[in-house]
Amino acid sequence: MKTSKDTRREFIKSSMAGATLLGLGGILPGFSAKSYGAILGANERIKVGIMGVNSRGNALAENFALQKNCEVLYISDVDSRAADKCSANVAGIQKKQPKLAPDFRKALEDKDLEALVVAAPDHWHAPAAILACQAGKHVYLEKPCSHNPHEGEMVVKAAEKHKRVIQMGNQRRSWPNVAAAIREIHGGIIGRPYFAKGWYANNRPSIGTGKQAPVPAWLNYELWQGPAPRRPYQDNLIHYNWHWFWHWGTGEALNNGTHMVDLMRWALDVTYPVRVNSAGGRYRYQDDWETPDTQVISWEFDNNTSMMWEGRSCNGRTVEDSSVGVAVYGETGTVVIGGGNAYKVYDLKNNLVKEVKNDVKVDAQNLSSPSQLLDAFHIQNFFDGIRNGAPQKSDILGGHQSTLLVQLGNIAQRAGSSLDIDPSNGHIKNNKEALKFWEREYESGWEPAV
């Protein structure tokens, strides 16, 4: 006679097999049949809270809710409209209403909550992750993992101290064909790779000149600011435009460049550089936008390799027929990875010698959910790390290392000088002006600590 536990196990197993395996094309990469079966047969779903659900966070909440081994237990957002909308979307998927906790710290007090998904603005990423670790929760942390280098080092320490799993949301690490392209590069398909180029192009409009205004009734602006020193509310800041203000955001370089810089670092098998340069500025419009809309960052490494990233926020002309991508150049050819789960290999005469395609549509211009099905691979890897101790495709140390590269580019830009870097730890050498940007000031009482 079957017990209720047996019935539940069969239901979860069949549900995931139908909805996840068929949707994603088989067992997830990096999962053994045994470990995957353990997830399929789990008696309890992994209960997560989502912090920040206006855009990308709403897409993540829906994607987590779609995973049959997960329950979205909490929705947290300082915008009551966004929270209500996301809560309804999640309830429609998982057929169970998540709890609303406008202050995510209240959700962290719940012993049933196992993980926090952080998709709030950049200035909240590291402080929220640290608080979650201290509360005994695992963390799925959207890129960039920190607002500044010091915070990145703190998050790494927090994960180690509290023995928590932190997966950074540079999800291309888990896309099967992207991972295959990197394996091909490491296997010598283009000889020794020695240079990589990444890019991002868009046609973003002007954000205008904002005016101070009363805080909207739907917004808890005090909590939105959180660890950042207080500034008056203005009408062109929230929601998306905070990316372009140094006080809260990190510019296009970390907003989108982090993904491509991570792939280039992976392909060249490098960690910290020896030299970093950046050129660019706010060229297209005269408005409140502070970070560069046009920027070229270059890195040199001590293994005789280098790489560069080009960002154009206000001119969407593509490179290699893609608005976002990476090209890795080697002794005998080139590998091009565009915005999707596919790649091409060229020889030195520009002949296409291999092409690996994918039929899952990826819209790199979609700001909230460009690749829902593919991102589920990354989510399941996170879950396998929680349940079975599986290595993360983008653990917090690697996430910090990739984030730091782009942060160093922004520091070089702001300091107006080339940076000499200690390749053993990524720290800036002999540059007092640049070191001013290594960490930030915090609102009194909100300082993160490990």
- Residue 150's pLDDT band, with cuts at 50, 70 and 90, is very high
Name the residue with higher pLDDT: 403 or 1: 403
Strand order in the sheet with 166-168: 99-100, 70-76, 46-51, 115-118, 138-141, 166-168
Instruction: Judge whether 308 and 298 are in contact, CB under 8 Å.
Output: yes
Domain boundary (388, 409, 424) is at: 388
Tell me how many domains the chain contains: 2
Asked if residue 443 belongs to a domain, the reply is no
- Residue 258's pLDDT band, with cuts at 50, 70 and 90, is very high
168 and 180 share one domain: no
212 and 138 share one domain: no
State if pTM tops 0.85.
yes
pLDDT value at 37 more than 60: no
70 and 185 share one domain: no
DSSP string, 394-425: TBHHHHHHHHHHHHHHHHHHHHTS-EEB-TTT
Q: Which of 184-188, 285-289, 333-337, 355-359 has the lowest mean pLDDT?
A: 355-359
185 and 113 share one domain: no
**pLDDT per residue as tens digits for the range 172-226:** 999 999 999 999 999 999 999 999 999 999 999 999 999 999 999 999 999 999 9
- Residue 133's pLDDT band, with cuts at 50, 70 and 90, is very high
13 and 158 share one domain: yes
What is the reported pLDDT for 363?
61
Percent of the chain whose predicted confidence (pLDDT) is above 90: 86
239 and 150 share one domain: no
pLDDT value at 2 more than 50: no
How far is the C-alpha of 421 from the C-alpha of 419, rounded, in Å? 6
**pLDDT per residue as tens digits for the range 406-420:** 999 999 999 999 999
Q: What is the CATH number of the domain that holds 253?
A: 3.30.360.10
Asked if residue 195 belongs to a domain, the reply is yes
Asked if residue 446 belongs to a domain, the reply is no
The type of residue at 33 is A
Instruction: Judge whether 207 and 236 are in contact, CB under 8 Å.
Output: yes
What is the reported pLDDT for 44?
82
3-state secondary structure of 240: helix
How distant, in Å, are the alpha carbons of 68, 370, 422 from that of 11? 10, 30, 54
Asked if residue 62 belongs to a domain, the reply is yes
Size (the chain), residues: 450
157 and 181 share one domain: no
The number of helix segments (H) and strand segments (E) in the chain equals 15, 15
208 and 317 share one domain: yes
303 and 421 share one domain: yes
What is the reported pLDDT for 222?
98
Strand order in the sheet with 343-347: 352-356, 343-347, 333-337, 324-330, 193-201, 305-312, 294-301, 275-281, 419-420
Instruction: Judge whether 11 and 18 are in contact, CB under 8 Å.
Output: no
How distant, in Å, are the alpha carbons of 77, 92, 259 from that of 58? 10, 13, 20
194 and 143 share one domain: no
How far is the C-alpha of 109 from the C-alpha of 105, rounded, in Å? 7
Q: Which of 180-194, 250-264, 336-350, 363-377 has the lowest mean pLDDT?
A: 363-377
Asked if residue 132 belongs to a domain, the reply is yes
**pLDDT per residue as tens digits for the range 369-404:** 557 788 999 999 999 999 999 999 999 999 999 999
> At 258, which helix (H) or strand (E)?
helix 257-268
Domain that holds residue 209: 176-325+397-435
**158 backbone dihedrals φ, ψ, rounded to 5°:** -65, -45
What is the reported pLDDT for 20?
38
3-state secondary structure of 45: coil
How far is the C-alpha of 415 from the C-alpha of 409, rounded, in Å? 10
User: What distance lies between CA 67 and its chain's CA centroid?
Assistant: 19
Asked if residue 249 belongs to a domain, the reply is yes
What are the CB-based long-range contacts (under 8 Å, 24+) for 182-188?
182/263, 182/266, 182/267, 184/335, 184/343, 184/345, 185/267, 185/328, 185/330, 185/335, 186/267, 186/269
What is the reported pLDDT for 22?
34
